[in-house]
């Protein structure tokens, strides 16, 4: 699932995912890419339709927002514990989904650090000062390693 195919960050996540699947698990087939515009209701309806079209679905990777809609569809179809579900960003909502076992892992880029870095870059640029960029550390979060938010 993608929030927006026009958003470069989501496009890069999808490309990276496709590359790794092709390289590491060539026996897996990526069946569909659905755009849901980061809308939880659209994510719910798209996930429900996907589950009905693909009863042998093994996993869902959501590169954008809408995790709660996808989770609702998984729960209503009785597949929440059966299908591997990966998402992005640690939030109160994704923490709950990790704790109840619906979401298996979250890739977190620490949006607070991203925002701070963006502001520091702008502030230094306006003042004509150099700035050394500090890339946010990516973390994969599981139920057992949920950080405080």
Tens of pLDDT, residue by residue over 77-103, are 999 999 999 999 999 999 999 999 999
pLDDT at 109: 87
| Structural domain that includes position 45 | 8-108
Q: What is the phi/psi pair of residue 33, to 5°?
A: -120, 120
Domain membership flag for residue 69: yes
Q: Where are the beta strands (DSSP E) in the chain?
A: 59-61, 84-88, 105-108, 139-141
Count of structural domains within the chain? 2
Q: Decide: 64 and 38 in contact? Cβ < 8 Å.
A: yes
Q: What is the pLDDT of residues 7-37, one digit of tens each?
A: 898 999 999 999 999 999 999 999 989 999 8
- How far does CA 139 lie from the centroid of its chain? 12
Q: Decide: 103 and 94 in contact? Cβ < 8 Å.
A: yes
Domain membership flag for residue 45: yes
Residues 6 or more apart in contact with residue 96 via CB below 8 angstroms = none
Domain identity same for 36 and 98: yes
Q: Place 149 in a pLDDT band, splitting at 50, 70 and 90.
A: low
Question: DSSP class of residue 25?
Answer: -
Report, as an integer, the average pLDDT of 109-122.
Answer: 87
Domain identity same for 126 and 73: no
Question: DSSP class of residue 64?
Answer: S
Domain identity same for 58 and 76: yes
118, pLDDT greater than 70: yes
Domain identity same for 83 and 126: no
Percent of the chain surpassing pLDDT 70: 99
Domain membership flag for residue 1: no
């Amino acid at each position: 699932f993608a929030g927006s195919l026009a958003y470069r960050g989501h496009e890069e996540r999808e490309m990276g995912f496709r590359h790794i699947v092709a390289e590491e698990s060539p026996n897996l087939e990526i069946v569909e890419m659905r755009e849901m515009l980061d809308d939880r209701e659209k994510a719910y309806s798209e996930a429900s339709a996907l589950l009905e079209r693909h009863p042998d679905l093994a996993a869902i990777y959501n590169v954008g927002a809408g995790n709660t809609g996808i989770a609702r569809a998984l729960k209503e179809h009785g597949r929440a514990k059966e299908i591997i579900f990966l998402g992005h960003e640690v939030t109160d909502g994704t923490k709950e989904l990790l704790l109840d076992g619906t979401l298996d892992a979250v890739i977190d880029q620490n949006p607070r650090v991203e925002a701070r870095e963006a502001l520091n870059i702008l502030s230094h640029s306006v003042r004509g000062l150099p700035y050394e960029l500090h890339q946010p550390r990516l973390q994969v979060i599981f139920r057992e390693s949920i950080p405080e938010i």
